[in-house]
Structure 1
Amino acid sequence: MSELISLAGELDAGDALARVRDRFVLDDVVYLDGNSLGALPAGVPARVADVVARQWGELRIRSWEESGWWTAPERIGDRIAPLVGAAAGQVVVGDSTSVNVFKALVAAVRMARGDAEGDSRGAARDEILVDATTFPTDGYLAESAARLTGCTLRPLAPADVPGALGPRTAAVLLNHVDYRTGRLHDLPGLTAAVHAAGGYAVWDLCHSAGALPVGLDEHGVDLAVGCTYKYLNGGPGSPAYLYVRRGLQDRFDSPLPGWNSHAEPFGMRPEYAPAPGAVRGRVGTPDILSMLALEAALEVWDGVGIEAVRAKSLALTDFFLRCVEEYVPEGRVESLTPAAHAERGSQVALRCDDAGDVMKRLVARGVVGDFRAPDVLRFGFTPLYTGFAEVERAARVLGETLG
C-alpha cells in the first residue's frame, strides 16, 4: 500500500495538468463520474449571474445582438471544434444529442440516396447499420430514422461492420467509446470502410470528446454528434453539438428545418431555404442560459492540449487498474475495459456481482462512480481535475469495501 501511495504522490508532483484543477469547484470527495456529469468550472456561476441579471434583466431583447446571443451556436461550436479535431465553421451547438443524432442520420440517408440517383448502376441505398452495443437512445433513434426513410436497420457489433457493408449501405451510426465498457472503437478504420462502400459515417462522441483526440477532419468523418455535460463540463442538460464536414454542408438536408436554420430567418417566408454552412444544423431558438454557461465552462480548456489530456487519461486508468489488482480481493471484480491503450477510452468498467450495492457503499465513503445494470461499476477519469492520489484512494476504498 505504502508503495502505491508514494507513487501516487510522485505522479501528482510531475503532473503538467495539476494546475488546471483549480479551475473547478471541488471538495474532498473522489469524483470519478465525469463521464456522466463533469464537475462545475469555477467561472460558470459568475457568468450565469451576469447573463441572468444584466443580459436578460437589463438589456433584455437587445442581448440577441449586443450580447451575441444570436451567434452563440456557431461561436461556441468553434470553441469545441479543436477539441474534436475540426476546423472552424463545421460545428454548431444546440438541441440534445438525441435530436442531433436524428438530424445526422436522416441527412446521411438522404445524401446517400442522392448519390445513388446519379449512379448509372442504380445502386439502392436502403440500409442503416447501427452499433448493437450503443446507448439505448441511439438505437431508438436509428429505428425511427429507418422507418421514416424506408430503410432496413441492422444492429451489429462495431467489429462486424466492415463485413456487413455493401451497395445497400446508406449510413452507419457508431459510438466512438462504448458507454458501458469504455472500449475505444477504430474511428479511422471504420470510417474508411464505410466510405469505401459508398455510405456515410455518423459518430457519437459523447464518451470521447474532451478525453482524447478524435480527428474528425483528419479522418474524413462525415457527421458527428456529442453532448457537452461529460468531459466538456458544460453542466446538467447543457446543449449538444453537431459536426457537418465542410464538403457536405451544401448537401446537408436536415429532417428538422427551422426558422433558425433559414437563410433569411427574419424574412418569415413560407418556403424553406437553408442557410449556408453548419448553421443549417440549427432548428429553433437557442437555449441561451445553458448555452452561455457552456461557453464559460469551455474556458477551462485555455492553454490545454488534447494530447496532454490523453496522455494523463491513460496514465490515470493504468494506475487505477494497477491499484485495483493490488487492493481488491482476487476474483471479486473483472475488468471489462481493454488493457490496450489503442482500445481504451477514459473510463474503467469493472464487473461485480453486487455492483449496485457496492457503488452505494463507495459513495457513502466519498468515492463517486456509477452503476450500470446489471453488474457494472463505472469509473470515469477526467484528466483536467482528477489526481493520482485520488485514484489510489478510490481503489483502496473499493478493496476495503469488497474485502
Structure 2
Amino acid sequence: MTDFTATKALFDLPEGIIYLDGNSLGPLPRATAARVAQTITAEWGQMLITGWNKAGWMDKPMHVGDRIARLIGAETGHVVMGDTLSIKVYQALASCLEMTPTRRVILSDTGNFPSDLYMAEGLCRTLGQGYQLKTVAPEDVLEAIDDSVAVLMITEVDYRTGRRHNMAELTARAHEKGALAIWDLAHSAGAFQVEVAAGGADFAVGCTYKYLNSGPGGPAFIYVAPRHADRAIPALSGWQGHEAPFAFDLSYRPATGAERLRVGTPPILQLAALEASLDIWDAVDMTALRKASLALTDRFITGIEAACPTLSLATPRDHDARGSQVSFRHPEGYAIMQAMIARGVIGDFRAPDIIRCGFTPLFIDAGDVDRAVEIIVDIMQNNLWDRPDYKTRAKVT
C-alpha cells in the first residue's frame, strides 16, 4: 500500500494553499529542481553536445516512455515521449486513416477537448476527398459507431465533467465495425490505472504536465499497439523517427516500432523534470490510488451538496463513470472560482459554467477536502463571490 502522507511530503506546495488543480497543472515535486539543475550543469554544462551519447539523451524518449507504460497498462517498448499532445493526436489520426483507406469518418464526442477536434478538422481539410469529423453526445457514442467510421477518437475522461468513458466497451464496438480507436489519456494517466493493452486501444496519447507533474509544457506521449507498430506510417515523419537519423537520408525510412512516432529533438530538460516525478510514481500502488481518489471525491461531493444547494453536480456519482475530478455547475462559476482562489483553494473554471476541482491523493488528503468544503460553503452562503473584480476574466481561466 502507498503511504500518501509520505508522498505529500515529496511535493513543494505553498503554505496555506489547498491545491485542487493538479488535473490541469501538477505541483512541483521537491526533487525536480535538483534533477533539472543536474541535467543543466553536470550534463549540458560539462558534456555539451556529447551529452546525447554520454548522458543517454537520445534514448530518453523510449526509456521514459517505458516508465509511463506501467501507468497506462501498455506493453514495454510501445510508448514514446516527445512533442505536444496535439501533435500526437494528429499523428495517431493520420496513421489510423491511412490504415482504413476506404472510410472517411472520424467519430468523436461533444465533450472531447477542443484541441483534439481541431486537429481532426484540420486533417480532414488537408485530406479533402470527403473526410469528415462527426461528433455526438458522450452518451451516444456507442450507438454512433457504424460501418462508416474509420477511427474513433475519444478522451477517456471528459475534461469538464469528469465523466469516464468505458474504453474496453467502445473499443470493442469500434473493432466489431471495422474501425480503429484512439484514446486521449490527458485526464486519465496518473488519475487511475489505465489499461490500453487490455482495453484493445490501437493508439493512445496523453500529456504529462497534469497528474504526472512534468511542469508547464511538459512532453506528451503516444502509445501504438504492437499489432500496428511496424505498420503505422506517421504523417509527421520527423528526423527523430527515421530508421537512421544521422544517416541524413533525403527520403524517410521509418524506424521500427513506436520509435517511428518520434518527430523532433526531445525536450531533455522537461524529460528530466518528468523523471523526478516518475521516481514518486514508480512507488505508487495504482489500486490504492484509485481507492483514495474515490474516497476524496465522494467526501467533497457530500460536503458541498449538504450546504450549497445552488451548485449543481456535473460529475457522475457512479464510481465506474468518474475520473479523479469533481465539477459543479453555476451561472457565476467563474466568479465563484476566483473567490475560492482568493481564499487559498485553487481549482479552475471551464466555460460555460463549470467549477472544476481535481483530487490527487499524492498530495491531497481528507483534511484538505474538509477545509476546502468549509471555505466554499462560506463563499456560497454569504455570496462572497459577488464582486466586480471576481467577474473580470483573465486570459487563463
Question: Where in structure 2 are the equivalents of 1:199-210 lying within 5 Å?
Answer: 199-210=179-190
Q: Which of 29, 53, 68 does residue 56 from structure 2 map onto?
A: 68
Name the counterpart of 1:28.
16
Name the counterpart of 2:69.
81
Question: Where in structure 2 are the equivalents of 1:247-262 lying within 5 Å?
Answer: 247-262=227-242
Q: Which of 29, 43, 46 does residue 34 from structure 2 map onto?
A: 46
Q: Counterpart amino acid of 1:35? A: N
Residue 153 of structure 1, CA deviation? 1.6
Q: Residue 296 of structure 2: SS of its match in structure 1? A: helix
Deviation sequence 1:131-178 (CA, Å, 0-9, x none): 222111111111112223331221112332232222221111101000
Deviation sequence 1:302-353 (CA, Å, 0-9, x none): 321211111111000001111112332x2x1000000000110000000112
Q: Equivalents in 1 of 2:214, 2:287: separation in Å?
A: 21
Q: Given the alignment of the two structures, is residue 105 of structure 1 paired with residue 93 of structure 2, yes or no?
A: yes
Question: Where in structure 2 are the equivalents of 1:3-14 lying within 5 Å?
Answer: none
Residue 57 of structure 1, CA deviation? 0.9
CA contact (8 A) 1:130 1:142 kept: no
Name the counterpart of 1:9.
none
Q: Which of 345, 352, 370 does residue 367 from structure 1 map onto?
A: 345
Q: Equivalents in 2 of 1:213, 1:298: separation in Å?
A: 15
Closer, same or farther: CA 19–158 of 1 in aligned 2, 3 Å: same
Q: Given the alignment of the two structures, is residue 393 of structure 1 paired with residue 377 of structure 2, yes or no?
A: no
Q: Equivalents in 2 of 1:145, 1:107: separation in Å?
A: 11
CA contact (8 A) 2:153 2:184 kept: yes
Q: Equivalents in 1 of 2:28, 2:332: separation in Å?
A: 31
Kindly tell me the number of residue pairs found equivalent between the two proteins.
378
RMSD: 1.3
Structure 1 runs not aligned, ≥5 long: 1-13, 114-123
Residue 62 of structure 1, CA deviation? 0.8
Residue 364 of structure 1, CA deviation? 1.0
Q: Counterpart amino acid of 1:207? A: H
Q: Residue 25 of structure 1: SS of its match in structure 2? A: coil
Q: Counterpart amino acid of 2:9? A: D
Question: Where in structure 2 are the equivalents of 1:344-355 lying within 5 Å?
Answer: 344-355=322-333
CA contact (8 A) 1:348 1:379 kept: yes
CA contact (8 A) 1:211 1:383 kept: no
Q: Residue 248 of structure 1: SS of its match in structure 2? A: coil
Q: Which of 99, 102, 107 does residue 129 from structure 1 map onto?
A: 107
CA contact (8 A) 1:175 1:203 kept: yes
CA contact (8 A) 2:161 2:314 kept: yes
CA contact (8 A) 2:296 2:369 kept: yes
Deviation sequence 1:65-95 (CA, Å, 0-9, x none): 1101000100100010000011210100000
Q: Counterpart amino acid of 1:110? A: E
CA contact (8 A) 1:130 1:153 kept: yes
Q: Residue 216 of structure 2: SS of its match in structure 1? A: coil
Q: Which of 148, 155, 163 does residue 175 from structure 1 map onto?
A: 155
* Overall identity of the aligned pairs, in %: 45
CA contact (8 A) 1:127 1:170 kept: yes
Structure 2-normalised TM-score? 0.93
Q: Given the alignment of the two structures, is residue 236 of structure 1 paired with residue 216 of structure 2, yes or no?
A: yes
Q: Given the alignment of the two structures, is residue 308 of structure 1 paired with residue 288 of structure 2, yes or no?
A: yes
Q: Equivalents in 2 of 1:16, 1:241: separation in Å?
A: 28
Deviation sequence 1:3-24 (CA, Å, 0-9, x none): xxxxxxxxxxx98422211111
Residue 245 of structure 1, CA deviation? 0.6
Residue 28 of structure 1, CA deviation? 2.3
Name the counterpart of 1:146.
124
Q: Counterpart amino acid of 1:81? A: A
Bigger mean CA offset, 336-345 vs 368-377? 368-377
Structure 2 runs not aligned, ≥5 long: 382-397
Q: Equivalents in 1 of 2:330, 2:369: separation in Å?
A: 19
Bigger mean CA offset, 126-135 vs 201-210? 126-135
Q: Residue 246 of structure 1: SS of its match in structure 2? A: coil
Q: Equivalents in 1 of 2:111, 2:344: separation in Å?
A: 31
Q: Counterpart amino acid of 1:32? A: L
Q: Residue 135 of structure 2: SS of its match in structure 1? A: strand
Q: Counterpart amino acid of 1:218? A: A
Q: Equivalents in 1 of 2:345, 2:281: separation in Å?
A: 25
Q: Residue 100 of structure 2: SS of its match in structure 1? A: helix
Question: Where in structure 2 are the equivalents of 1:313-332 lying within 5 Å?
Answer: 313-328=293-308, 330=309, 332=310
Q: Which of 122, 125, 142 does residue 162 from structure 1 map onto?
A: 142
Q: Equivalents in 1 of 2:302, 2:145: separation in Å?
A: 39
Residue 240 of structure 1, CA deviation? 0.4
Name the counterpart of 1:120.
none
CA contact (8 A) 2:152 2:180 kept: yes
Deviation sequence 1:269-288 (CA, Å, 0-9, x none): 11211000100000111111
